[in-house]
Chains A and B, each alone.
Chain A
């Protein structure tokens, strides 16, 4: 039983959950959205600084949530920094697919390393109710880029 749980709560997740990176609102923000998981009441905000070339210069978040959602948000902010908006969109699609489907995902070669790092979150597939925890930050980032301002996992 503990082995199964350690598959979900891998060291990387526990580390990012306890010590989230890029936590807090930065000074320069071009895109911002609030995310909400009505199931558990958790809320997070995602902040992006996107330059005129369509490259994410900085990504950050704040809010509170479970270890899965905090770790996912923390990893996401590290990974999308320096990516183009097209790449971010591709990562979002790939990540969502990874969390919800057992099928092998076709990944662009230039994003293979990033998807490898995100693989640590794939344990949520076995816990359908927790998929929303893992994807909340990504949905929120997507809303920020699309200018919606609000995202929920409903």
Chain B
């Protein structure tokens, strides 16, 4: 992906997506790339509307992982032998693909982790946790996934620092005046989601980062959902850290990414100790490697990184704009169709959104709705979506969430709506 091809998030949020003059998007061809989509569940064709939890994998990713193990596998950064050198090349190529995907300035700013959660824990422990004092504040928002709350609590509790949540309005939109007020002289870190995993609502990240930076406060952006749906340009955002995970981006599980600005990574102590992250070790003292190796102790998920690289190639190959336009169409169609079903309430429908809808039945609990949909072969997520504070904000215990990916169709949304009618038939 070239720099020119990158449309920034700021453009997307400010003016709305512009999808004119795009090549036709052949969703049936895309579906054929995903072997699992041809299977049945409970005797019905699978309708997979849970990509927000974890996306399915295209043949290209499955093959890339098999190819490593079948033909090009050895441990990296160690051997002088052919396969070790080759595996190291592939691993480094994957890092470069991630760099380009995020438009980071340098590949050394890309650290491979296990997932988004580990990436946030790494920053909480090695960056924010250093020098944190009693009474210091870490600002998050009410939208956060537990993964962007608990790591901060762990470092805050050790010293008596405080977690402050920036409030959202009834549509799940950040109340910017309140956010700005919560940036105080005691704020040591700001961490927020780029797109809510529950509502799909996209936060005005660039503006929030600008406000925090005006006061000299570093910012971590949780991109677990946004990296799938938006073009990300970390240089344009100017975030200090950006995190996402491979498995939601049609890649394998067990591989995530931390982007960090060079100057921060260079100053940070290791997160874990071990092999591959050192320059020189004696029993008295160890000199640590430079980033990113400093933060990748032990043998990493080599095939996972290579699989993530293949996923990025696959997504880029479809055309990011065309895929985004397709997902946007699904979001609008689903919002309109679900709104027509009586007895349902949708949450977070305003503003720019990733392709996620969350709703609740007036009388029927999300778990019961989920079971009924499952019998129709439809996979949705039900419950609190690891965002209990947001559930508390809305005074509910959970929602039904349908999240749409590259491979979903309007026809599948029709099936969802038909199955929602069964809820009425069962529960009267």
| Interface residue ranges, A against B (CB under 8 Å) | 1-2, 4-6, 8-9, 14, 18, 39-43, 64-68, 127, 130, 133
Known: A14-B427, A40-B382. A2 touches B422 (CB 8 A): yes
5 smallest CB-CB distances across A and B, nearest first, come from A66-B365, A66-B367, A41-B384, A40-B383, A41-B397
Chain A residues whose CB sits within 8 angstroms of the CB of B365 once the complex forms: 65-67
Q: Which of chain A's residues have a CB closer than 8 A to the CB of B427?
A: 9, 14, 67
CA of A102 to CA of B425 in the docked complex: distance in angstroms?
29
Q: Is B428 an interface residue (CB 8 A)?
A: yes
Contact present for B397 and A42 (CB under 8 Å):
yes
Chain B residues within an 8 Å CB radius of A42? 367, 397
A40 B398 Cβ-Cβ under 8 A? yes
- By the criterion CB–CB under 8 Å, are A41 and B375 in contact? no
Contacts A40-B366, A127-B371 given: A14-B397 contact, CB under 8 Å? no
Output the least CB separation between A16 and chain B (Å): 13
- Residues of chain A with a CB closer than 8 A to B384's CB: 40-41
Residue numbers in A under 8 Å from B397 (CB-CB): 40-43, 64-65
Whether B425 contacts A2 by the Cβ 8 Å rule is yes
Contact A14-B375, Cβ < 8 Å, known A39-B383, A41-B397: no
Q: Collect the chain A residues with CB atoms within 8 Å of residue B372's CB.
A: 5
Contact A130 B422 (CB under 8 A): no
11 contacts between A and B (CB under 8 A): A2-B425, A2-B426, A5-B371, A9-B427, A14-B428, A40-B367, A40-B398, A41-B383, A43-B397, A66-B366, A67-B368
**In the complex, what residues of B have CB within 8 A of residue A1's CB?**
42, 44, 375-376, 422
Chain B residues positioned under 8 Å from A39 (CB to CB): 383
B370 to chain A, nearest CB (A): 9
Q: Complex: how many Å from CA A40 to CA B388? A: 10
Known: A40-B383, A41-B384, A42-B367. 14 other contacts (CB 8 A): A1-B422, A2-B425, A2-B426, A5-B375, A5-B422, A8-B371, A9-B368, A18-B363, A40-B382, A67-B364, A67-B365, A67-B427, A68-B367, A127-B371
Measured in the bound complex, the distance between the Cα atoms of B375 and A5 in whole Å is: 8
Q: A-facing mask of B388-403, CB < 8 A → 1, else 0? A: 1001000001100000
Residues of B within 8 A of A4 (CB): 375
CA distance A32 to B120 in the complex (A): 39
| A115 to B313 CA separation, bound complex (whole angstroms) | 58
- Which of chain A's residues has its CB closest to B423's CB? A5
